Amino acid sequence: MHFFSSLLLAASIVASAHARALETRQSPSVSSWMSAEEPIARSSIFRNIGSSGEFAKDADAGAVIASPSTDSPNYYYQWVRDEAITFKYLLNQYINGNSSLEPLLKQYVSESDKLQRTTNPSGSYQGAGIGEPKFNVDGTAFTGSWGRPQTDGPAIRATVLTKFATMLLDAGETSYVTTYLYDGQLPSNSVIKNDLEYVSHYWTTNGFDLWEEVSGQHFFNYMVQQRALTEGAELATRLGDTGAATYYNQQAAAIKAALPNFWSSSYGYLISTIGTSRDGLDCGTLLGVLHGNGARGFGVYEASSDEALVTLQAMVNSMTPLYSINSASGSPGVAIGRYPADVYNGVGTSQGNPWFICTFTVAELLYTAINQFAAAGQITVTSTTLSFFQQFLSSVTAGTYSSNSNTYATIVAGLKNYADSFIAVGQLHAANNGSLSEEFQRSSGYMVGARDLTWSYGSFLTTKAARDGATAF
């Protein structure tokens, strides 16, 4: 009897997920849902930024809370990585003409300076303290035990602020830049220079991954580090700090030379971390492809590269059987989690769930690849990517297809539909009012984990920009 009723209960949960799936699939379309979600996601980000944001009143000006959730889980902190990723989106809005964001960007500069100067369990100013991943919302040190250091945050922050500095220099604000952002001194009293000194001297040091779970050398970190140092070297050159520029370029070259170590020819995909027992498939690798290149591209495992595309497909193949929502009838596509062996359920540990960030990131990488194929005017199918492209055109063979060919058109249309199917999964499991938490439950599909996760909204927004063909920096 108990057995029977629990089966009935399980059946009714699955049935309601099905009903939701079918209802949501009929309307609205992915593109109209994305248009409706965009202003919701944008205002949800501003709600999480101190000190004027509705959910971040206690936070410093320019500090981004990861989520308003203060209990089960408590994400009411600022993380250097998440904050930099949020400001990367906002800086793109500024580049695209929202000049009202300049005061907020300068508050981020001040908050970053404050965090760098705060002595913390990783170390102190102008040294190892720059690698501290997490601070209290008022900028004081978080002194509990944690996965530290994390060497990716300073690199992403440097990339964002280097672009901002370049724009300010173009606008004639030289003294602001040379005072607060890049002073060219050692030891330095400016934010970018401290981040670049940290990254260039500590990139070989083991640190925790972006999910804060394993210590080692990570693809994601190397990708964002080589980008930060390459762009930082250009800024250093422009400001006459030529010795530093040479050193940053040398370290960037060393990172680029080490990146192929993450390609596993036996697995046929990029692994996330060297020297762990995991299989290496990880959403962080896809994020590294995106954050390590930007629209400008560095020719290092770009979204349209063979390695990125086959890694994406291996990730999808591995996630498909993992979550029962992926096989529910009416399921619009595949929900994607962080990595196959994940056991974090959003509050504690049991079984991992799909994440909005990871499901959207698969789509963002595909849209970015489409944009790169369009810019190149062609798609090249190789023996490595043949089966990937055959999903969209079973008769395709290895070769180069120009953008005016039918083969190209068929493949791009297939890629776009494929990318849209991941958005449809996010659409299905988002709240009706557009709210996005961290995760959605692997068998019921309902949202779980930290509510209103800033990065979920940011990920949605950058994915939409890529779908719209925008060239984010």
Ligand X SMILES: *[C@@H]1O[C@H](CO)[C@@H](O)[C@H](O)[C@H]1NC(C)=O
Q: Which residues bind ligand X (CB under 6 A)?
A: 42, 46, 93, 98, 100-101, 104, 431, 433, 435, 451
Burial 203-214 (b: 16+ CB within 10 A, else e): beeebbbbbbbb
Q: Closest residue to ligand X, Cβ-based?
A: 431
Q: Which two tokens stand for residue 244?
A: 């530093």
Measure the CA–CA gap between 440 and 224, rounded to whole angstroms.
28
> Which residue, chain included where needed, has tokens 């690199």?
155
Beta carbon of residue 93, minimum distance to ligand X (angstroms, whole number): 5
> Using CA atoms, how far apart are residues 60 and 368, in angstroms rounded to an integer?
34
**Catalytic residue selected from 38, 102, 173, 212:** 212
Among 37, 83, 209, 438, the one annotated catalytic: 209
Which residue type is seen at 7? L
Give yes or no: 452 in active site: no
If the CB atoms of residues 367 and 440 are measured against ligand X, the closer one turns out to be: 440
- Whichever of 61 and 101 has its CB closer to ligand X, that residue is 101
In the complex, the smallest distance separating the C-beta of residue 428 from ligand X, rounded to whole angstroms, is 14
**Smallest distance from ligand X to CB 97, Å:** 9
Tell me, yes or no, if 111 is annotated catalytic. no
CA dihedral 95, 99, 100, 103 (to 10 degrees): 80
Minimum CB separation from ligand X for residue 430, in Å? 9
| Closer to ligand X by Cβ: residue 272 or 437 | 437
For ligand X, give the closer residue by CB, 104 or 374.
104
Q: What is the closest distance, in whole angstroms, from the C-beta atom of residue 354 to ligand X in the complex?
A: 17
As to burial, measured by CB atoms within 10 angstroms (0-12 exposed, 13-18 middle, 19+ buried), residue 189 is: middle
Nearer to ligand X by Cβ, of 191 and 447: the residue is 447
Query: What are the Cα distances from residue 238, in Å, to 178, 251, 252, 293?
Result: 11, 19, 18, 21
With respect to ligand X, which residue has the nearer C-beta, 46 or 146? 46
| Euclidean distance between CA atoms 77 and 16, whole angstroms | 35
Does residue 28 have a cis peptide bond before it, meaning omega lies within 30 degrees of 0? yes
**Residues 190, 176: Cα–Cα separation, whole Å:** 10
C-beta of residue 394 within 8 angstroms of C-beta of residue 414: no
- Among residues 112, 90, 102, 92, which one has the least CA distance to residue 180? 112
Q: Residue 279 burial (CB < 10 Å; 0-12/13-18/19+)?
A: middle
Q: How far is the CB of 45 from ligand X (least distance, A)?
A: 9
Active site residues: 209, 212
